[in-house]
A and B are shown apart, each in its own frame.
Chain A
Amino acid sequence: MQKRKLKAWLYLLPALLFLGVFLVYPLIDVVVYSVEEGFTSVSQTYDGVGLGNYNTVLRDPDFLQALKNTVLLVAITVPLSTLLALFISLGLSSIKKLRNLFQTVYFLPYVTNTLAVGLVFMLLFDKTETTDGLINLFIRIFGGGAVDFIDGPYWAKMFVMCFYTVWVVLPFKVLILTSALASVDETYYKAARMDGTRKGRIFLRITLPMISPMIFYLVITGFIGAFKAYSDAVALFGTNLNAAGMNTLVGYVYDKLYSEGGGSPALASAAALILFAIVLTITCINLMISKKKVHY
């Protein structure tokens, strides 16, 4: 029996080793780094222990810009993409013909390389010396003036960023909501029909409550995902996000960790923990609301 127990641990050993070295240890280490003031990759020593790193980060204009960008991105894209996904899924569930084709097409952004397709978006929105780009062509048809979406005003850049983010996250949401809608027992709809329930009421009183757990799941994962936005920004605006004023919180962490003049893991750790605290708080609030609102 003793031998069997040992064997069980043997099966677990590789996983535990990997998890220990690359997940558990770093988790403790990141907290340690974050309180070591003045630690950099070059110096490898620290001046003292305290909350100075957090202080530095929170006063850094780059961090504040990244925070603003990220919060704006989250606040716009999460509700927008969830609503849009809901409409599309409702549409998908109401048709039979071509449904598979639509589903396949809608899923495509999920399997594409964010960086690669981001370049296409950049191309579509970009305004260069030779051409105004495709989107500006449309804007002009409708009587507007050309806007540089990639190097231009902040709102234009934010718009592209949000547009691309929605484009990227929608496949997952549509997939989840379509299967949630499909799993609602059809007899509920029959019963509602027998009672002469109007379409709007069926949606509000039956469909929505039944799929509400999935909607909350999407909102929660949506928040977490959007707070971690980074590669989409790189794809659109290049690696020097601070210069473009379009950095995100995750981008800030990486920039601090690996900047040209030698990185500062201490500042990066502090920033990462602040990000984690924000995400954790929002997730907890979300969970609390969903406990109250979700019906089972």
Chain B
Amino acid sequence: MQKNSSLPSGVKTDYDRILRNAALRRRAAKAGVYTMLVIWGLIVLFPFYWMVLSSLKTQAAYDNEQTPVFFITNPAFENYVKVFSSSDIHLGRYILNTLIFTLGTTALMMAVIIPAAFAFARLEFKGKNLVFGLLLSLMMIPTELVVITNFQTITAWNMRDSFPGLILPSVTSVFYIYLLKENFAQIPDELYKAARVDGTSDFKYLMTVMIPISRPTIVTITILKVIECWNSFVWPRLITKEPDYFLISQGIQQIRESGLGRENIPGMMAAVVIVSLPLIVLFLIFRNQVMEGVSRGGTKG
């Protein structure tokens, strides 16, 4: 930018200084912001780094560290072999259990909530608003309140240490019915009327029109439920005593309190890495869906 040459020179330098100071201040503010963001980024990432790092140290090397070592040049993968071959820890089993639990719960939930959301969004019946209102008020109920009776119920049904016992009480989700119903309701009425005139059955309409249109929401709900299931701890811990039915959260806890966690910290960290990895990969793939879904109504736990 050309400076105005008609200005007296004194004014010119003053003016220059003001501009330079403003630019400096802006740059300093920017540097401050980036520093803060980087520091928090490091705080977030460090535990992940430490977990991977520790898992790659040999047990002997780790035990001999008086002061923690930040870098290693010779990563050891023996811990990863060890956690899968250990006799008192069945990590493979826990992962498989969690997979069954996650898939079973998510699939069953979808089968339950999609028709319900459809009924609330499209079908007319007496008492619909009343039932929906009651449903919404159920959203306020904390799981802690109902766990007690569910525990008694599952015990009475003789389902402790079984997959149905794990899955059934985890299926219900009032919030997802609500989310999906809102989404279904946004689909124009005309489509439904047109389908009715063409003689399309409700079920066919649901399957061929509503579900495809609402796919983004359904994907979001699925991802959120998968995250929830993969990390669930409280209910599985209550209902299973038999390691054959442990899920990973509980498996990890078991590892910590059994011999492995006390003796072999790198081995425990290897288990932690294996358990954490699937969700991180899932998140990195579906980053936008996950973040959008969470901001629309997920809270942790």
State yes or no: do A and B touch (Cβ within 8 Å): yes
Interface, chain A (partner B; CB < 8 A): 4-5, 7-9, 11-12, 14-16, 18-19, 21-27, 29-30, 33, 41, 87-88, 91-92, 94-95, 102-117, 119-121, 123-124, 130-134, 137, 167-169, 172, 175-176, 179, 221, 224-225, 228, 230-231, 234-235, 238-239, 250, 253-254, 257-258, 265, 268-269, 272-273, 275-276, 279
Which residues in B have their C-beta under 8 angstroms from that of A253? 144, 147-148
Find out whether the CB atom of B138 lies under 8 angstroms from the CB atom of A24.
Answer: yes
Encoded as 1 (CB less than 8 Å from any A CB) or 0, chain B from 31 to 48 comes to 001101100110111011
Query: Assuming A123-B265, A276-B145, is B300 touching A115 (CB within 8 A)?
Result: no
Rank and list the top 9 A-B pairs by shortest CB-CB distance, nearest first: A26-B149, A15-B116, A26-B146, A11-B119, A8-B123, A8-B125, A11-B115, A29-B149, A111-B283
CB within 8 A of A130: which of B66, B271, B294? B66
Who on chain A is nearest to B250 by CB? A115
18 cross-chain CB contacts under 8 A? A8-B119, A9-B125, A11-B118, A12-B131, A15-B113, A18-B171, A22-B169, A24-B138, A26-B150, A33-B149, A110-B227, A114-B249, A116-B248, A130-B66, A131-B68, A133-B68, A234-B253, A269-B148
Segment of B8-16, B72-80, B82-90, B229-237 engaged in the interface with chain A: B229-237
Which residues in A have their C-beta under 8 angstroms from that of B227? 110-111
Who on chain B is nearest to A266 by CB? B148
Find out whether the CB atom of A254 lies under 8 angstroms from the CB atom of B123.
Answer: no
Report Cα–Cα, A132/B67, bound state, in Å. 7
Report Cα–Cα, A43/B146, bound state, in Å. 21
Encoded as 1 (CB less than 8 Å from any A CB) or 0, chain B from 153 to 188 comes to 101000000000000110110100100000000000
Find out whether the CB atom of B291 lies under 8 angstroms from the CB atom of A107.
Answer: yes
A106-B40, A275-B144 known, 9 other contacts, Cβ within 8 Å: A7-B202, A11-B118, A19-B174, A115-B231, A116-B272, A119-B261, A131-B67, A238-B257, A257-B151
Who on chain A is nearest to B268 by CB? A119
Find out whether the CB atom of B65 lies under 8 angstroms from the CB atom of A225.
Answer: no
Number of B residues with CB within 8 Å of any CB on chain A = 92
A126 to chain B, nearest CB (A): 9
